[in-house]
Chains A and B, each alone.
Chain A
C-alpha cells in the first residue's frame, strides 16, 4: 500500500499524496522483516512533512496580522495531511515513530524534528494542562482539553515525564477519566498513565466496564482497547524510552 513518494494512504484507494497514517505504518514496521528501502522512503517522507505554519510567510502572518489563535509558529510539528497546519495527534504519532527509529542525542534531521515536535506540543498545551486538537487558546478563550488528544500527546512525551507541563497534564488526565465512560478515551488514557508509571486502576476498571456495556463497532477503537489491555498487563506498548 505504500505510495510512490514513500508515504502511506489514509485508506485503501486514497489519493497518493500521503497522510497521517505514515507515522503509524512506520511505527508498526519496527522490528519487522521489510525491505530497507520501504523504511527509508517512509522516513524521508515523514521528515519532509511539516505543518504549513512553518513557512516564513505564514509565520509572519501568524505573528503580525492573524493573532486569534495563540501559538508560536517557530515550533511546528506534523499535519493530518499535506498543506495544512501542525496538530497535536499527528505530531504525537510522528514523534513516536521517529523516536523508535532514531536514537536520542544525535545530530540528525530526525533529532532536530523530534526536538521541534516536542517543543510544539509543549507550546500548544491548554492553560490548565492537557491538549485540545491543536491550540490551547483561541480568540482569547482557553480551550478545554480532550482526553484522547491529551493521552496521545503524553505517550509521545514519555521521555519528558518530569516536565511540569507533562505532570500537570497527567494530573488532568487522571482526574478526567473519573467521569468518562467511552472506550476510546479510556483506552488511550490507560496507555498514557501506564507509560508514565501513574496508577491505572481507575481507567482499567472503567474500561472493562465500558466494554461490557457497549458494543465496539469500529476497528480503530477495538485496536486501541486491545493495546490498552496489553498495557494493563504490563507490556510496554510504544516502547519509547531514553
Chain B
C-alpha cells in the first residue's frame, strides 16, 4: 500500500488533533497532587465576640504546634461590604485576636490584607465595619490588595482557561497565609468558606469591582485555580455567628458558636460545611480541591478538639442549592445529602 503526501499530512494532523483533544478530556486539570496524608482540624466553642476570644484562639492554635519564628504572616479576612445589622464580614475582634496570637507564636510580621469585591472605597469599608478602629488600636498594618503592586503568575491548575492571573506582591511574598472566612452560604457557589474567601486576593485595579471575569469563567472553577496557585497554609474560620439563606450579603444571621482552625483549607471547608448541615461533596470547589489539594473525607481529617456535629436544622440556602442540605444527619457523617 502506498500513502501519498496529502494523506500522510491529513493523518498526522488528525493524530495531533486527537492527542490534543484526549489530553484535554483525559488528563486531570491539576498539575500535581499536593494533598497531605492527613489534615488536622480543631473545632472550638466560642459564644461571643469578646475579650475571651484571644485565649480561646491561642489554646486552639497551640494544638497545632506551629513554628512561625521569623516568618511573615498574612491574615486574609472576609471583608466584602457593610450593611448595618448584617453579618457579612469576619468579625474585626476575631481578626485582631488572631493578630495577637500569631505575634505570640513568634511571627516576624503580621499584616491584614483584603481586596474587597464590591466596595471600591476600602477606607470607608474599614471604618464602617469597625476594622479601622481595631487595627489602629493594635497598630496593625492593613494592605488594600485591590491597589497593591502586581505580578503575573501562571495558574497551577486549568479548571478555567485563564492560564495566568495578576496577583498582589504582598500575598506572593508572604511566608504563611491564613484564610479567615465568615461561615456563610452563597447564592452562586453554595457556601463561601476559606477557599472562596481567596477571591479577595484578586486585585480590583486589574479585574474591576466586582471581579466579574471570575463569574464569567465560572466561580467555582476559579476558586480551584486560585487556591491551586496561592497556598493557604492555615484557616481560622469565624462561625460564632454565620450567615444562612441569601448569602454572601443579604442572608440571615445564624448563631453557631464555633471557630474552626485547620492546617488544610479543604479539610476546613469540608468541616465547616458539615457544621452548617451542608454536604461538602456536593459543593463543586470543595469536591474538586479534595482531588489534589486537601482532604474532605472524615477518614483523613484528625479532629484535635470537638467532634463534628451537624445541626438538626441545616443552614438555609437559596433553592438552587437545596440539594446540599443534609436533612436528619447522623453526627459526623458526610454522605447524607
Contacts and interface: CB of A to CB of B under 8 A. Distances in A.
A10 B121 contact: no
Chain A interface, >50% SS class: loop
Contacts of B249: 143
A149 B210 CA distance: 12
Given A84-B212, A133-B118, A19 B206 contact: yes
Contacts of A130: none
A138 B207 CA distance: 21
Given A14-B166, A89-B120, A81 B208 contact: yes
Contacts of B313: none
A132 interface: yes
A94 interface: no
Contacts of A134: 210
Contact of B209 (A89, A181, A220): A89
A214 B120 contact: no
A87 B208 contact: yes
A13 B164 CA distance: 14
A129 to B, nearest CB: 17
B174 interface: no
Interface string B241-271: 0000010011000000000000000000000
A147 B206 contact: no
Interface stretch (A117-125, A182-190, A194-202, A233-241): A182-190
B25 interface: no
B118, B123, B147 interface centre (most CB from chain A within 10 Å): B123
B310 to A, nearest CB: 26
B205 interface: yes
B122 to A, nearest CB: 8
B209 A87 contact: yes
Contacts of B213: 81, 83-84
Contacts of A83: 213, 216
A52 interface: yes
A144 B207 CA distance: 22
What's the interface size class on A, roughly?
35 or more
A81 B215 CA distance: 13
B207 A80 contact: yes
A213 to B, nearest CB: 11
Contacts of A85: 212, 216
A220 B147 contact: yes
B150 interface: yes
Interface in A36-82: 52, 68, 79-81
B154 to A, nearest CB: 13
A99 B157 CA distance: 44
A50 B119 CA distance: 22
A84 B216 contact: yes
A90 B210 CA distance: 12
B140 to A, nearest CB: 15
B144 interface: yes
Interface string B120-132: 1101100100000
A184 B118 contact: no
Contact of A182 (B83, B123, B215): B123
Interface in A110-155: 132-134, 138-139, 141, 143-144, 146-149
A212 interface: no
A139 B246 contact: yes
A20 B208 contact: yes
B216 to A, nearest CB: 6
A34 B318 CA distance: 54
A180 interface: yes
B91 interface: no
Contacts of A132: 118
B187 interface: yes
A231 to B, nearest CB: 18
A135 B208 CA distance: 15
Top 7 A-B pairs ranked by shortest CB distance?
Answer: A80-B208, A182-B124, A84-B212, A182-B123, A141-B250, A184-B121, A185-B121
28 contacts: A10-B206, A79-B208, A79-B212, A80-B208, A80-B209, A83-B213, A84-B208, A84-B215, A84-B216, A87-B209, A87-B212, A133-B210, A134-B210, A139-B187, A139-B246, A139-B318, A141-B250, A143-B249, A146-B120, A147-B121, A147-B124, A148-B120, A182-B121, A182-B123, A183-B123, A184-B121, A214-B123, A221-B123
Interface of B: 83, 118-121, 123-124, 127, 144, 147, 150, 152, 166, 187, 205-210, 212-213, 215-216, 246, 249-250, 318
Given A84-B212, A139-B246, 9 more contacts: A14-B166, A20-B208, A80-B208, A83-B213, A89-B209, A133-B118, A134-B210, A139-B250, A218-B147
